[in-house]
């Protein structure tokens, strides 16, 4: 008797709940479950229908045929951000570890070519916490349920064998804690491509260490970027087949700053510390890229590539092919970098331009206040122009030990001034790669004030500060030649 009364009561309450649910809609918890299910279904479908390495592949690496056009570009709708919200460049100033000691760089009114990826104010964004203390134990747990505009905070520590596909837009994925969260591939990969495959647009990744990515086609990457728009800040990519591998995406801007790339490369010459395919704009600033294995320390097929205030070096043991390769030409801006070609470099060329022919409408080169040292005994060429750009500007570059193969012969209309090519630039230390100037260095006060080009001021604002930081460049009399102003 009591049992059947309980049953009737229970049925009554169940009906009441069903009625309320149909009036007011599903409770939030069911939404989450739905998304999770949908997301994992997608994953499975993709895994079965998408070939593991549809893109890029460097099979065409050294040929002049059109490479890499089959990468699907991002088709996601544009995110619905409000125009009034803070841009990523503002966030940059807050988040960078190097900025605390700086004066305000904005005072120089430089049109820094940074991407304007707009994000919602942080307070309005959902935060997913990841870590052994949390419900979400691993980054991949968060990736399965992440929705547009989420912030994913990953407790620092080691996450071996955890790989993920990020599909939502406007994600900020960052380490929580005083060091980096380390994602060691440990034999695993997402879609047989990478530790993280990023398919969403406008993703920001901060404070993550990626290592050990290896896959069957030897293009295993720390990050495989397939969406449109990416910011990578304060990350470390090492001992992968590629640090970052980005597919063709003609409207995409990628900003990489305060990050370290080392010992990436499968050793086949077709995988690199970082390999950016046909995007709109790559901005690589305040980074360290060293010891790429047989491949390049940086390879870009972007319509425009800015390499600013960074250190790219083979050092004594590195056997990279090029320090930087701009295979399809485009606009290249290099300001304030320290570059070194080591004794074990595979190729005599340090910078290679348009070796696979032009692919973009504007092809111009701007080299300003860089310091480059060749230590390859068999000789080194500072820059090889396989196809000549329509405009080239080379000002205040300091080149040591390139012999007769430093800068190329300037063509009519090109602007080559105040470059110093010497066997001994009197740098502070070659063995420690400290390219500041000695007191007697001829580069002191020997420069010319750079004007503007590529839509920006070419005047150097910063200096590279080891490792992967920056400091303001002082003004001290006439501008010095090279990447550092002497006090």
How many residues touch Ca ion under the rule CB under 5 A: the total is 4
* DSSP state, residue 87: B
Task: List residues bridging with 203 in a β-sheet.
Answer: 230
C-beta closer to Ca ion: residue 376 or 473: 473
DSSP character string of 267-292: SSSS--SEEE-SEEEEEEES-EEE--
Interacting stretch for Ca ion, rule CB under 5 A, among 181-189, 279-287, 292-300, 468-476? 468-476
Q: Across the chain, which distance is largest between two alpha carbons, in Å?
A: 104
Shortest distance, position 474 Cβ to Ca ion, whole Å: 9
C-beta closer to Ca ion: residue 49 or 439: 439
Contact call for residue 449 and Ca ion (CB under 5 A): no
Which residues fall within 8 angstroms of residue 160, CB to CB, at 6 or more apart?
184, 186
From CA 259, how far away is CA 257, in angstroms rounded? 5
Interacting stretch for Ca ion, rule CB under 5 A, among 301-309, 333-341, 413-421, 443-451? 443-451
Q: Is the previous residue joined to 467 through a cis bond, with omega within 30 degrees of 0?
A: yes
Interacting stretch for Ca ion, rule CB under 5 A, among 108-116, 123-131, 432-440, 476-484? 476-484
C-beta closer to Ca ion: residue 43 or 478: 478
- Residue 193 phi, psi (nearest 5): -125, -45
End-to-end CA distance of the chain: 95
Contact call for residue 480 and Ca ion (CB under 5 A): yes
Shortest distance, position 443 Cβ to Ca ion, whole Å: 9
* DSSP state, residue 154: E
Shortest distance, position 366 Cβ to Ca ion, whole Å: 21
Shortest distance, position 427 Cβ to Ca ion, whole Å: 15
Contact call for residue 257 and Ca ion (CB under 5 A): no
Q: According to CB under 5 A, which one of 51, 77, 477, 487 is a site residue for Ca ion?
A: 477
Contact call for residue 476 and Ca ion (CB under 5 A): yes
Contact call for residue 51 and Ca ion (CB under 5 A): no
Shortest distance, position 401 Cβ to Ca ion, whole Å: 23
Shortest distance, position 264 Cβ to Ca ion, whole Å: 37
Interacting stretch for Ca ion, rule CB under 5 A, among 48-56, 68-76, 448-456, 477-485? 477-485
Neighbours of 387 (CB within 10 A): 14
Structure tokens of 177?
């804690």
Shortest distance, position 478 Cβ to Ca ion, whole Å: 5
Shortest distance, position 448 Cβ to Ca ion, whole Å: 12
C-beta closer to Ca ion: residue 312 or 441: 441
Contact call for residue 445 and Ca ion (CB under 5 A): yes
Interacting stretch for Ca ion, rule CB under 5 A, among 67-75, 163-171, 293-301, 479-487? 479-487
Angle at 309 between CA 286 and CA 314, to 5 degrees: 85
From CA 119, how far away is CA 170, in angstroms rounded? 7
From CA 399, how far away is CA 372, in angstroms rounded? 5
Closest CA to 456 of 234, 287, 283: 283
Binding site for Ca ion (CB under 5 A): 445, 476-477, 480
């Amino acid at each position: 008797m009591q049992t059947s009364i309980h049953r009737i009561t229970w049925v009554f309450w169940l009906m009441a709940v069903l009625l309320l649910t149909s009036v007011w809609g599903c409770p939030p918890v069911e939404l989450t479950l739905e998304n999770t299910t949908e997301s994992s279904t997608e994953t499975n479908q993709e895994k079965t229908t998408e070939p593991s390495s549809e893109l890029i592949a460097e099979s065409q690496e050294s040929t002049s045929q059109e490479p890499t056009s089959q990468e699907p570009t991002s088709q996601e709708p544009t995110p619905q951000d409000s125009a009034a919200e803070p841009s990523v460049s503002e966030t940059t100033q807050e988040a960078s570890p190097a900025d605390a000691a700086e004066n305000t760089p904005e005072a120089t009114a430089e049109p820094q070519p940074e991407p304007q990826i707009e994000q919602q104010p942080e307070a309005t964004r959902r935060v997913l916490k990841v870590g052994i203390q949390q419900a979400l134990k691993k980054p991949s747990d968060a990736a399965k349920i992440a929705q547009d505009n989420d912030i994913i905070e990953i407790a620092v520590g080691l996450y071996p064998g955890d790989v993920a596909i990020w599909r939502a837009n406007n994600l900020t994925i960052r380490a929580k804690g005083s060091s980096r969260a380390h994602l060691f591939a440990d034999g695993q990969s997402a879609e047989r491509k990478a530790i993280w495959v990023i398919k969403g647009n406008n993703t920001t990744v901060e404070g993550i260490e990626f290592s050990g990515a290896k896959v069957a086609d030897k293009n295993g990457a720390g990050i495989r970027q397939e969406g449109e728009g990416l910011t990578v800040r304060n990350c470390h990519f090492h001992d992968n087949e590629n640090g970052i591998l980005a597919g063709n995406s003609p409207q995409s801007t990628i900003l990489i700053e305060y990050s370290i790339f080392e010992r990436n490369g499968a050793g086949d010459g077709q995988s690199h510390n970082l390999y950016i395919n046909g995007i709109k704009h790559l901005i690589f600033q305040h980074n360290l890229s060293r010891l790429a294995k047989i491949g390049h320390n940086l390879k870009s097929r972007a319509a425009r590539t800015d390499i600013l205030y960074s250190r790219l070096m083979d050092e004594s043991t590195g056997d990279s092919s090029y320090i930087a390769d701009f295979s399809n030409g485009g606009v290249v801006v290099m300001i304030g970098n320290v570059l070194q070609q080591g004794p074990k470099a595979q190729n005599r060329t340090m910078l290679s331009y348009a070796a696979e022919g032009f692919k973009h409408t504007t092809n111009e080169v701007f080299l300003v206040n860089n310091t480059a040292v060749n230590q390859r005994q068999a000789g080194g060429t500072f820059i090889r122009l396989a196809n000549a750009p329509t405009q080239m500007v080379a000002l205040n570059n300091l080149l040591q030990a390139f012999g007769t193969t430093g800068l190329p012969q300037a063509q009519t209309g090109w602007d080559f001034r105040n470059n110093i090519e010497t066997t001994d630039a009197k740098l502070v230390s070659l063995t420690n790669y400290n390219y500041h100037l000695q007191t007697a260095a001829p580069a002191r006060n020997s420069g010319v004030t750079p004007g503007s080009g590529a839509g920006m001021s070419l005047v150097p604002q910063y200096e590279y500060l080891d490792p992967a930081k920056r400091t303001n460049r002082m003004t001290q009399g006439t501008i010095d030649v090279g990447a550092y102003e002497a006090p």
